Chains A and B, each alone.
Chain A
Amino acid sequence: MKKNIHPVAPPKLATRFFEWYCNDELQESIQGDLLERFEDIASRKGIRRAKINYYLDVIRLMNKYTLRRNKKHHRNHLNPTDMLNYNFLISWRFLSKHRGYALINIIGLSIGLASCLLIFLFLKNELSFDHFHANSENIYRVTTQFNFKVGNMTHFANTPPAFAPGIRGLFPEVEKASRLRYAMRTRFGKDDKSFYEDQGFYADSVFLEIFDFKLITGDAGTALDEPNSIVMTEEMALKYFDKPAPIGETIVLNGDQALKITGILEPVP
């Protein structure tokens, strides 16, 4: 019998493409079907339609059932993750074989790790406070406790302005109390120089007695006694006055409030 009894053959390119992607298991039977389909359409609708259809079928047949699955074995063994995979597999088998020991080990390790982290967090918190103040042991910050709902509580750093004078009258243990208010983005001006400063604070007169921020010039005990006094760093003084210690001169806050410079701070740690 003659092998090629078909007067017209399906497009070779499509056939070759199909043979390239299709796995061996399904290849023969699908090719048979494709050929039958081709001949069927060719006899009814013409070769042109049959060829187009053949192409479409070949392309649409590319799916997870027909694609070659065993490519992994054809690949040369240079894949570095293979060994890793085996190691994971072996560890998993070992762990599931010795469940008890695995459980103890894992729980022990987790507890150890968790404790270490907690200790670290605690130490970090303890070390995060300024220690250069001589009285740092006796300095406390008072916070406001907000109870939103039952069991929902938070601390705010803000307290009412009258709180600091009040607490000193109520509790004799409190020797000194100072309020501190962050001055966000204030504008300082001196003659034609004007800058925004982001790191200023409003404070009570005893602030420099409680906290050991050293003054290069000026007396920490009295520098802030008068209202509208200001102490600043040398860096800031040079910025506005071109001299390191403009004691007694004035600087204008927010365009309308004259502040007297009473001290120059050492660089803040």
Chain B
Amino acid sequence: MRPYLGEFEEIVLLLVAVQHDEAYGFSITKAIEEKLSRAVTMSSVHTALYRLEEKGLVQSRVGGATSERGGRSKRLFTITAQGKEALLEAKKMREQIWSWIPKTVLEL
């Protein structure tokens, strides 16, 4: 069965794709707050990331330690082929639904 992709999970997954090979918990939190102006806690981002990893939509590796952040290494996330497929699927579904909306409804 195709794993179900929640709305928040979808956003996190999209941002993992955007920050290709540079995505980690804090950077995604920051992006959601600044670019999407949406209040978010970092813990929920982390949980979403681990859940996505469990579903096989992202994979993670431990990046090299830097002098920032107390010398601690980052866990960097990249999207997997399955993740891309899930994103495309979600997008396709949305476009499909959009195309069903009568034109008059969207006129402002």
Residues of chain A at the chain B interface (Cβ within 8 Å): 1, 3, 6, 26, 28-37, 40, 53, 56-61, 63, 65-66
| Binary contact track B44-59/A, C-beta < 8 Å → 1, others 0 | 1011001100100000
Q: Say whether chain B's binding surface is mostly helix, strand, loop, or mixed.
A: helix
Name which of B25, B41, B42, B72 has the most chain A CB atoms within 10 A of its CB.
B42
14 further A-B contacts with Cβ under 8 Å, apart from A6-B70, A28-B73, are A1-B67, A29-B75, A31-B70, A32-B70, A32-B72, A33-B25, A33-B69, A35-B69, A35-B70, A36-B68, A37-B42, A53-B41, A56-B41, A60-B43
| Interface presence of B62 (CB below 8 A) | yes
Q: Report the minimum CB–CB distance from A2 to chain B (whole Å).
A: 11
Docked pose: A34 CA to B45 CA in angstroms: 12
Q: Say whether chain A's binding surface is mostly helix, strand, loop, or mixed.
A: helix
B41, B50, B72: the one contacting A57 at CB < 8 Å is B41
* Residue of B whose beta carbon sits closest to that of A53: B41
Interface size band for B: 20 to 34
Q: A26 — which chain B residues lie within 8 A by C-beta? A: 50, 75
Q: Report the minimum CB–CB distance from B35 to chain A (whole Å).
A: 15
Q: Report the minimum CB–CB distance from A266 to chain B (whole Å).
A: 75
Known interface pairs A29-B24, A29-B62, A37-B29; A61-B46 also in contact (CB < 8 Å):
yes
Residues of chain B at the chain A interface (Cβ within 8 Å): 24-26, 29-30, 41-44, 46-47, 50-51, 54, 62, 67-75
Q: Report the minimum CB–CB distance from A44 to chain B (whole Å).
A: 10
Are A30 and B25 interface neighbours, CB within 8 A?
yes
Q: Report the minimum CB–CB distance from B53 to chain A (whole Å).
A: 8
Q: Report the minimum CB–CB distance from B95 to chain A (whole Å).
A: 33
Docked pose: A31 CA to B42 CA in angstroms: 12
Known interface pairs A57-B41, A61-B46; A31-B72 also in contact (CB < 8 Å):
yes
Known interface pairs A36-B26, A37-B26; A28-B72 also in contact (CB < 8 Å):
yes
Q: Report the minimum CB–CB distance from A189 to chain B (whole Å).
A: 76
* Residue of B whose beta carbon sits closest to that of A36: B26
Q: Report the minimum CB–CB distance from B47 to chain A (whole Å).
A: 6
Q: B68 — which chain A residues lie within 8 A by C-beta? A: 36
A to B CB contacts below 8 Å, 28 in the list: A1-B67, A3-B70, A3-B71, A28-B62, A29-B24, A29-B72, A29-B73, A29-B74, A30-B46, A31-B70, A31-B72, A32-B72, A33-B29, A33-B69, A35-B69, A35-B72, A36-B68, A36-B69, A56-B41, A56-B43, A57-B43, A59-B43, A60-B41, A60-B43, A60-B47, A61-B43, A65-B46, A65-B47
Are B62 and A33 interface neighbours, CB within 8 A?
no
Are B73 and A32 interface neighbours, CB within 8 A?
yes
Q: A28 — which chain B residues lie within 8 A by C-beta? A: 62, 72-73
Docked pose: A62 CA to B72 CA in angstroms: 20
* Residue of B whose beta carbon sits closest to that of A39: B69
Q: A60 — which chain B residues lie within 8 A by C-beta? A: 41, 43-44, 47
Q: B62 — which chain A residues lie within 8 A by C-beta? A: 28-29
Docked pose: A60 CA to B41 CA in angstroms: 9
Q: B69 — which chain A residues lie within 8 A by C-beta? A: 32-33, 35-36
Q: B42 — which chain A residues lie within 8 A by C-beta? A: 33-34, 37, 57
Docked pose: A214 CA to B24 CA in angstroms: 95
Q: A61 — which chain B residues lie within 8 A by C-beta? A: 43, 46-47
Known interface pairs A1-B67, A35-B69; A29-B25 also in contact (CB < 8 Å):
yes
Q: Report the minimum CB–CB distance from B85 to chain A (whole Å).
A: 23
